[in-house]
Amino acid sequence: MNYQDELYSLAREIDAAVAAVAQTAHGAEQAPLQWRLPGELGSVTVSGAGDLTAVTLDVAELHQYSADALARTLLQGIRDAEHRADRQRGDTVAAVVTETGLA
């Protein structure tokens, strides 16, 4: 194999690896993540990109919270879910980067 063929082959391998990482990143951004709120209050759901998509509350549990406590609990739950989604997405992409030899 001559030098140009080797370069072409290497470029194709790199393109395939980059495409695999891009596809994995896109999939990770679309995957929903559900985060349980304390007790039986409910859950928040974020996309893999960390965008809030749903909040589910058990109405029977709301009486245990003042308005301020409920707001703090919801906000912290959303932040925790966003952080976890970000970490999960980063770990997933990092694994593919390592697997494909781009690291």
Average pLDDT over residues 54-83: 95
Q: pTM of the full predicted structure? A: 0.79
Fold of the CATH domain 3-100: Ybab; Chain: A; (3.30.1310)
Domain boundaries, the chain: 3-100
pLDDT in tens, 11-36: 898 898 889 888 988 888 888 999 99
Q: DSSP string spanning 8-75?
A: HHHHHHHHHHHHHHHHHHHHHHHS-EEEEPSTTSEEEEE-TT--EEEEEE-GGGGGGS-HHHHHHHHH
